[in-house]
Structure 1
Amino acid sequence: MSLTAEQNNAICVEFFETAWNTGVVREDLLASDAIDHSQVGGKTVTEPGSASFKGIVGMFRGAMPDAKLSIEDQIYVADKVVHRWRLNGTDTGGVMGMPPSGKSITLTGTTTARMKDGKIAERWANVDELGLLQQLGVVPPPPGAH
């Protein structure tokens, strides 16, 4: 069941907006052997199934229960979908194991998905972790930044 690039994009929009904005990971939109290529602590973690993505969504939604994902750009061709996104929320639960800061956080990144038979088969994400750490006050901003 090969879908159009537009159909693949619509599936990705539904999957990512539902996961990030409600906390529900739609396993019906993931291939059973989907691979999540995630960066954790500077290392690439490749894990099949939904557990890795559920863990990432759970961690951030636990820290920022009001998290809201906005997809800012959508690029799609054949079986590839790329989204540039922004995640806004309030750090009330402590991001990445740190104490809650109470700060409004904006996290940005890009996610690439490979589709197969109408489902997400692989996912890669690049996230501005340095910007997140600077907002939390863990890493100082560069000299001269406001």
Structure 2
Amino acid sequence: MDKEKLKNTASEYMQIWSAENADLLDKCADKNIVADYTHFEKPYKGVQNYKSMLKMTYDFFPDLKITIKNLIPNEVEQIVTVEWKYDGTHTNGNLFGVESSGKKISVSGITILEIEKGLVTKEKGIVDNLNLIMQLGALDN
């Protein structure tokens, strides 16, 4: 794929992180996708497993919205590095020991997507969860 197609694929795929968009995995991801972020206990393997985690995330933040800040395609390796941020409201559940309080959050991260035949096969990234924890108030004394 050329750079523009890689960027378009990555941009569309990353919308899975906006609330209620888990079904985009069916269109944009290989059925055997592996998703691994530094805060995951273990990688999520397969579309259905990954969808279940995304739906939990949407439950915590039902208005979650991702914004792509930068896309860096690599035609040789067929990867795209994505700089992003997401915004939402902690509406439900206990997250990092904090009960939902309606607090607005804004968190940044970087994701590397591996793409084959127009589908994302691997997603690996890091999220600024320390910032999230601080915004939720989990570190308040």
TM range (shorter): 0.7 to 0.9
Q: CA deviation at 1:32?
A: 1.7
1:29 aligns with 2:23: no
1:135 to 1:96, Cα distance in 2 relative to 1, 3 A: same
* Residue 118 (structure 2) pairs with residue 121 (structure 1): no
Check if 1:11 corresponds to 2:21. no
CA distance in 1, matches of 2:61, 2:45: 26
User: What code does the residue aligned with 1:16 have?
Assistant: M
Partner AA of 1:55 in structure 2? S
> Counterpart in 2 of 1:94?
93
Residues 88 and 95 (structure 1), Cα distance of their counterparts in 2 relative to 1, 3 Å cut: farther
Matched AA of 2:73: Y
Deviation, 1:89, is: 0.9
Is this contact kept in 2: 1:60–1:95, CA < 8 A? no
> Which sections of structure 1, spanning at least 5 residues, go unmatched?
142-146
Which region of structure 1 is more displaced relative to structure 2, 26-35 or 123-132? 26-35
* Counterpart contact for 1:94–1:101, Cα < 8 Å: no
Letter in 1 for 2:70: D
Distance in 2 between the 1:114 and 1:59 partners?
Answer: 24
For residues 99 and 140 of structure 1, do their structure 2 counterparts lie closer, same or farther at Cα, with a shift above 3 Å needed?
A: closer
Identity %: 23
| CA displacement at 1:95 relative to structure 2 | 5.5
Task: Tell me the alpha carbon deviations over residues 78-137 of structure 1, each in whole angstroms, 9 at most, x when there is no partner.
Answer: 101111111111111135364102111111111110001110010002001111111111
Q: Does 1:64 align with 2:61?
A: yes
Asked if structure 1 preserves the Cα contact closer than 8 Å seen for 2:68 and 2:82, the reply is: yes
Q: Secondary structure at the match of 1:111?
A: strand
Q: TM-score, normalised by structure 1?
A: 0.82
In structure 1, C-alpha distance between the alignment counterparts of 2:85 and 2:128, rounded to whole Å: 10
Which one of 36, 48, 70 corresponds to residue 51 of structure 1? 48
Q: Within the alignment, does 1:85 sit opposite 2:80 as a pair? A: no
Question: Contact 1:93–1:99 (CA<8 Å) still a contact in 2?
Answer: yes
Cα distance change on mapping 1:35 and 1:64 into 2, 3 Å: same
